[in-house]
Amino acid sequence: MAKRSKTGLGRRDFLKGAALATAASGAGLVSAGTGASPALAAVAGPLSRAADLPKPAGQRVIVVGGGWSGLTMAKYLKKNNPKFDVVMIEPNATFFSCPLSNLWLDNVIDTDLLLHSYTDAAKAGGYIWLQGMLVQLDREKRRAFTTAGYIDYDYIVLSPGIDYNYASLGVKDPGEAARLAQTYPAGFKPGSEHLSIKAKLDDFEEGVFLLNVPTGNYRCLPGPYERACMIASYFKAEGIKGKVVLLDPNEKPTIKADGFLAAFKELHKGYIDYQTAATITGVDVAGKTVETEFGKVKFADAAIYPRVRAARLIEDLGLADPKSPQLEGKIDNFRYTVPGDDHTYIAGDARPMPFSKSGNTANTEAHIVSRMIAARAQGKDSPWESPNTICYSMVDGEGKQSIMVDAKYKFTKGKGWGFTDVKLIEKWSKKLGKANIEWGKGLYRDMFS
C-alpha cells in the first residue's frame, strides 16, 4: 500500500468564501477565508463536479498531456494492460507536430503531415480524450481536478511538457514577456507559434531574421540550427534579400556540430550569420533589437527562444525539484515515480534526466514507462531501458537532404548520465532526407492509429 504522501493542496488558497466552501466541500477541496462570493462559486463549477466520464471499467490511469509522450503513453498503457481505463487530458483541440515543422517553413512538406486528430488517436488507441487541463491534484485521495471536472484515478502520468522562461532572456516584466511571446514567438510549443513563424516568412521583405539557441537543456537541440538552414533555403529559393542571424551561447552547435557547420558554410553561404558565444541579455520588442554581452543586434523579424522549464503545472503541483534549474519534476530516474508515491509518474520533457528533449526520446520512453506501469499494476515489474534519441535534421531545403544522429543513455555511478551507442551521419543526402520524413510518418502512425 502506498505511503501517505504530501498532496499538492494546502499551499494554494485559490478558493475563498463560504459559498465556495459548500460547493467545494463535496469535492474534498480545502477552503479558506470567510464570506460568500457568488462569482467565485461559479468559478468552482468544474472543480466541484465529477468529469463526464463512464464508470471506470478497470483501474483508471490518467495521462496528463497529449504530446509525443502522452499520446504514446495513453495508447501503450491500454495495449500493455487492456484492463486499464485510460483517460488522456489535453487542452489543445488539434495535434500540431513541432518535429518536422521546420521543413514546412521551406515548403518541403505541408501541414497535412503535421496536423493530427485527438479523436482519431483516442478511438484507435481505445482510450478517452478529455479536452481540458489538470489544475490540481489530491494524491492522497487520488483525485485529479481538471477544467472538465474531477476524476478519481489509480495511476497518473504527468507529461505536460515545457513552458518558456522569458526571465532568462532578461525580460522580467510579465507584460513585456507576453508582448515578446506574441510578437516573436519561439516556435517550440505546438500550434499558433508555428503558424506565426510561417506567416512571417511568407511576408518577409528583406533584412535579418533572428534566431537564437537558448542555454540549458532546451527542447529539440538541433531545432534552431535546422530552422536556420530551412529559412536560408527559403530565402534563396524565393530570391529574398534576407539573412538569418543565429545567436548561440555555445562555441559550436550543441548537436551534429560538424554537419551543421559544414551546411552553413557549403549550402548557405551568405544566408546564415552564425554567431557563437552570444548570449541574449535583453530584448527590445518595439525596437526590434536584442542585447548581447557584446552589443545589440537589430532584426527585421525573429523567432526568439527563451530558456525552457518544465511546464508550470509541475511546480504548481508541488512536484518540482527545487534544485533543478529548469524546475523539472523530482522522480526516481529509473522508475519514473514521484518519491514516496508509486501512483504518480512524470515523463516526457518535464523529466529531470538530461536526455535530449525530443520526439523520439519521448515516444520510446513512453513505450518503456507504459510497460512499467502496466506490469506494476499487475504486481510485477518491467526493467528500465534507455530511451532512444533518433534525430534527423534537414539542412538543405532545395535538395531535401538531411543528417542524423542515433543515441541512447547510460548512467555511470560517480559520473551521472551520458550518451552511449552514438551513431552519427553528418554527410547530408537525399536518402536521409526521405528517411527524415518517413521517421515522422512512422511515429504519427504509432501515436494516432
Partner 1 sequence: MGNETDRRGFMKICGKTALTVAVAGAAARAATAPAFALENAPRVRLVTADGKPLKASALPMHANWIFHYPYHSTPALLIRVEDPARPTEVEDKDGKSYTWPGGTGPDKSIVAFAAICAHALSTDNRETSFINYRKVRNQMTGHGRVITCCAHASVYDPAAGARVLAGPAKFPLAAVLLEHDPKTDELFATGLMGSELYGEFFKAYRRDLRKEFGRRKYKTFVKGDTIAMPISDYSEDAIEC
Applying CB under 8 A, the residues found at the interface with partner 1 are 360, 364, 367, 388, 390, 404, 406, 423, 425, 430-432, 434-435, 438-439, 441-443, 445-446, 449
From the CB of 72, what's the least distance to partner 1, in Å?
Answer: 11
- Specify the residue, 66 or 433, whose C-beta has the smaller distance to partner 1: 433
Cα–Cα distance measured from residue 74 to residue 79, given in angstroms and rounded to the nearest whole number: 9
Q: Residues with Cβ < 8 Å from 437, sequence gap 6 or more?
A: 100, 103, 108, 109, 113
- Specify the residue, 305 or 355, whose C-beta has the smaller distance to partner 1: 355
- Specify the residue, 298 or 430, whose C-beta has the smaller distance to partner 1: 430
Cα–Cα distance measured from residue 133 to residue 91, given in angstroms and rounded to the nearest whole number: 6
Alpha-carbon dihedral of residues 155, 339, 419, 327, nearest 10 degrees? Answer: 100
From the CB of 380, what's the least distance to partner 1, in Å?
Answer: 14
From the CB of 398, what's the least distance to partner 1, in Å?
Answer: 17
Checking DSSP bridges between strand 416-429 and strand 401-412, what pairing results, if any?
antiparallel
Q: How far is CA 201 from CA 178, 197, 228, 261, 394, in A?
A: 22, 6, 12, 23, 18
- Specify the residue, 214 or 433, whose C-beta has the smaller distance to partner 1: 433
Alpha-carbon dihedral of residues 336, 340, 344, 349, nearest 10 degrees? Answer: -40
CB 225 within 8 A of CB 394: no
CB 417 within 8 A of CB 334: no
Q: Residues with Cβ < 8 Å from 351, sequence gap 6 or more?
A: 328, 329, 331, 336, 365
- Specify the residue, 41 or 404, whose C-beta has the smaller distance to partner 1: 404
From the CB of 445, what's the least distance to partner 1, in Å?
Answer: 5
From the CB of 387, what's the least distance to partner 1, in Å?
Answer: 11
- Specify the residue, 150 or 355, whose C-beta has the smaller distance to partner 1: 355
From the CB of 343, what's the least distance to partner 1, in Å?
Answer: 27
3-class secondary structure, 377: helix
From the CB of 358, what's the least distance to partner 1, in Å?
Answer: 13
Cα–Cα distance measured from residue 219 to residue 358, given in angstroms and rounded to the nearest whole number: 6
Bridge partners (DSSP) listed for residue 246: 211, 274
- Specify the residue, 397 or 440, whose C-beta has the smaller distance to partner 1: 440
